[in-house]
A and B are shown apart, each in its own frame.
Chain A
Amino acid sequence: AQSVTQLDSHVSVSEGTPVLLRCNYSSSYSPSLFWYVQHPNKGLQLLLKYTSAATLVKGINGFEAEFKKSETSFHLTKPSAHMSDAAEYFCVVSQISSGSARQLTFGSGTQLTVLP
């Protein structure tokens, strides 16, 4: 079984300050982990992914995340927030399930607000 916990439902930062969105996971196997972003009334866009290569993963728009197996964490960070970063962020864990189809398990989401 696998699960994802996003520790904050809402995060508010000022423009130009760092962003930290926290995610913890549990998985029976070596997981693949992802962060997706969803702007209002839009689909999900992949920010970055971890698939058992480098533990520090760089994504689009200046985001990065570090896989820490000992802490079962995959926190998302960005050095300097931009107004356009305001959106809903989902941490997702993935593993092979029945029928050789991959299943994604979503966290509950973190709403990021960026203040001017």
Chain B
Amino acid sequence: DTEVTQTPKHLVMGMTNKKSLKCEQHMGHRAMYWYKQKAKKPPELMFVYSYEKLSINESVPSRFSPECPNSSLLNLHLHALQPEDSALYLCASSQVVDRLEAFFGQGTRLTVV
């Protein structure tokens, strides 16, 4: 199984809503990532989890709250978002100790209205 599965594929939420994005992998990878991608731009790193601990937070606003309940799951909790947060949110995973490729999910297309 070389898949990273993200749900939902599409999400429309209001600025007062609370929602969560989910990501799952069963490759035994111990590093997991959240990226944000705006149209016509490369992905921007948001968070890195290594061995279920938050390793890197790229100065992301607190309205985005990551969570790693176990080594296979990664969540991104959303609250009080702004319209400019509308983007494709990508999850990825990789083996930690080797410099191997990251596997990406298909993404969640988020629209904030």
Chain B residues in the interface with A (C-beta under 8 A) = 4, 6, 31, 40-43, 45, 48-50, 53, 55-56, 88, 90, 92, 94, 96-97, 99-107, 109
Q: Are B45 and A103 in contact, with the CB atoms below 8 A?
A: yes
**Is A70 an interface residue, CB under 8 A from the partner?**
no
Contact B100–A99 (Cβ < 8 Å): no
What is the CA–CA distance of A99 and B55 in the complex, to the nearest angstrom?
6
What is the count of residue pairs linking A and B with beta-carbon distances less than 8 angstroms? Answer: 71
A60 beta carbon closer than 8 Å to chain B: no
* Contact mask for chain A residues 31-71; partner B; CB cutoff 8 A; 1 contact, 0 none: 01010100001111110010100000000000000000000
Q: Could you tell me the distance between the alpha carbons of A19 and B43 in the complex, rounded to whole angstroms?
A: 24
A-chain residues with CB within 8 Å of residue B97 when the two chains form the complex:
100
* Size class of the A contact interface (CB-based, 8 Å): 20 to 34
Q: Do A101 and B56 form a contact, CB below 8 Å, given A43-B106, A44-B43, A44-B90?
A: yes
Most buried by B among A96, A98, A106: A106
**25 examples of A-B residue contacts, CB within 8 angstroms:** A32-B99, A32-B100, A36-B104, A41-B88, A41-B109, A42-B107, A43-B4, A44-B90, A44-B92, A44-B104, A49-B100, A51-B100, A90-B42, A94-B99, A96-B99, A98-B56, A99-B53, A99-B55, A100-B50, A100-B97, A101-B50, A102-B94, A106-B43, A107-B42, A109-B41
B91 to chain A, nearest CB (A): 9
Contacting residues of chain A (78-116) with chain B, CB-CB under 8 angstroms:
90, 94-104, 106-109, 111
**A89 vs B106: C-alpha distance when bound (angstroms):** 16
Residues of A whose CB lies within 8 Å of any CB of B are 32, 34, 36, 41-46, 49, 51, 90, 94-104, 106-109, 111
Q: Is B55 a contact partner of A101 (Cβ separation < 8 A)?
A: yes
The 9 lowest CB-CB distance pairs between A and B, nearest first, are A99-B55, A106-B42, A101-B50, A43-B106, A32-B99, A44-B104, A43-B104, A101-B55, A101-B48
- With A43-B105, A44-B90 as given contacts, are A104 and B96 in contact (CB-CB < 8 Å)? no
| B86 to A: closest C-beta gap in Å | 14
- Is there an interface contact between A43 and B99, defined as CB atoms closer than 8 Å? no
Per the bound structure, the CA–CA distance linking A101 and B43 in Å amounts to 17
